[in-house]
Structure 1
């Protein structure tokens, strides 16, 4: 059985411990996120952005929740936004809720089996109606015209007005749909405060997931940048007793045109596993610890032994 996605959070909340493999930034992220989680054995609860406490579910429960909220009696094969709202209303939570809902809807077999799109356009008012259908026979077209076209234009409500006139204030023969689309849409939406509140809460929940994705993408970018930097760094292996030169790092900020950039040689005294090296000055016996990237090998020249003096005389030429 694999560990749930909230295993590190629970370990920190209960025992204040982190896995040894986590970096400092990942530990700080867990500390910041732990403020919104509550551990009540054996469940973990989260205080969401809409101030509703929801239960965190492990990875193995996610597929069944997605299936029930999409295909079964409480589902209805709706879009990803409505599906995500249904899941939140059930009182459960996991970090990639909106992303998983979008993927599940796109891969649903029944939702992918619509083969045709039936389209109707009113050339006077430029009114457009379109529905997905499974077949293109006369029966489907007849039902579409009766349910959509006639109800939009000819059907009269008890107050003796068509739905088009109720919304736009004019008959459907006038092309007011495009002229006042934004205004009437905002007006109709603002009349329902409860629906606007539910939609806003859903947007806030999705915003939290977007922030988590941005954090993950930033971590991936940093890892790629670190890998690229490591490729450009020349690997040098040092051993105790070797002669090395030390780079003057101050020259990076204050370069000197005629100043020496390497000083030494020094003797390697100790090599640490994390990249630091202790070097000793053979003259003053002073030991300093430097970064291994500031060192380079020093190769001594060939020393001549047993030197001899050769006397060179002027040549004598014979006739």
Structure 2
């Protein structure tokens, strides 16, 4: 079966022609009825000459499909940004600070954002003012509303 992303079958991208399956031999299809043994080798050579072009076109279609999937995914992504001085809650699963259980707390805090780094990570400080030793990704934080 042709792949949706490339529009080609893997067999055709490797060998330059479509495979003949046993079912096609038993029940004659148009392809089997139109088979010409005299011109077969020249047609196969022609297909091999065009193989590189088919691979390039398949790569272009695959890149286009990948770009469409990324656009679809990125449409639903919410970017979260915090400013210095914002109060945030930290994901308990990311910090593993408190013992988690089935009914354990999901978030811990509040913490204060001390510094916002350009790569989307944040330095936090505890309510007592002491700085938390590592940086935290925005995915592990959520805004705290007091």
When normalised by structure 2's length, the TM-score is 0.58
Secondary structure of the 1:273 match is coil
The answer (yes or no) to whether the contact 1:277–1:290 under 8 Å persists in 2 is yes
- 2:39 equivalent in structure 1: 189
Any conservation in 1 of the 2:81–2:120 contact (CA below 8 Å)? no
CA-based RMSD: 3.0
Question: Distance in 1 between the 2:101 and 2:48 partners?
Answer: 56
Matches of 1:182 and 1:214, distance apart in 2: 27
Deviations 1:47-77 (A, max 9, x none): xxxxxxxxxxxxxxxxxxxxxxxxxxxxxxx
Which structure has more RCO (C-alpha within 8 Å, separation ≥ 6)?
2
- Aligned residue for 2:54? 210
Mapped to 2, the partners of 1:295 and 1:249 lie a distance apart of: 11
Separation in 1 of the partners of 2:101 and 2:77? 24
Residue by residue over 1:238-274, the C-alpha shift from the partner in whole angstroms, topping out at 9 and shown as x without a partner, is 1011111122446xxxx94312111222221222333
Residues 280 and 215 of structure 1: CA distance in aligned 2, closer, same or farther (over 3 Å): farther
Return the TM-score normalized by structure 1. Answer: 0.30
Query: Where does structure 1 lack aligned partners over 5 or more consecutive residues?
Result: 1-179, 191-195, 301-319
Instruction: Give the 3-state SS of the residue equivalent to 1:286 in structure 2.
Output: strand
Alpha carbons 1:281, 1:287 under 8 Å: kept? no
Residue 216 of structure 1: SS of its match in structure 2? helix
Larger radius of gyration, structure 1 or 2?
A: 1
Q: In 2, are the aligned partners of 1:269 and 1:280 still within 8 Å (CA)? A: yes
Deviations 1:11-52 (CA, angstroms, capped at 9, x unpaired) = xxxxxxxxxxxxxxxxxxxxxxxxxxxxxxxxxxxxxxxxxx
Q: Does 1:236 align with 2:86?
A: no
- Please list every run of 5 or more consecutive structure 2 residues that lacks an aligned counterpart in the other structure: 1-31, 95-99
Q: Matched residue of 1:234: which SS?
A: coil
2:39 alignment partner, SS class: helix
Q: 1:243–1:266: 8 Å Cα contact kept in structure 2? A: yes
Gap change, CA 1:204 and 1:221, over 3 Å in 2? same
How far apart in 1 are the matches of 2:115 and 2:69? 30
Maintained 8 Å contact 1:280/1:288 = no
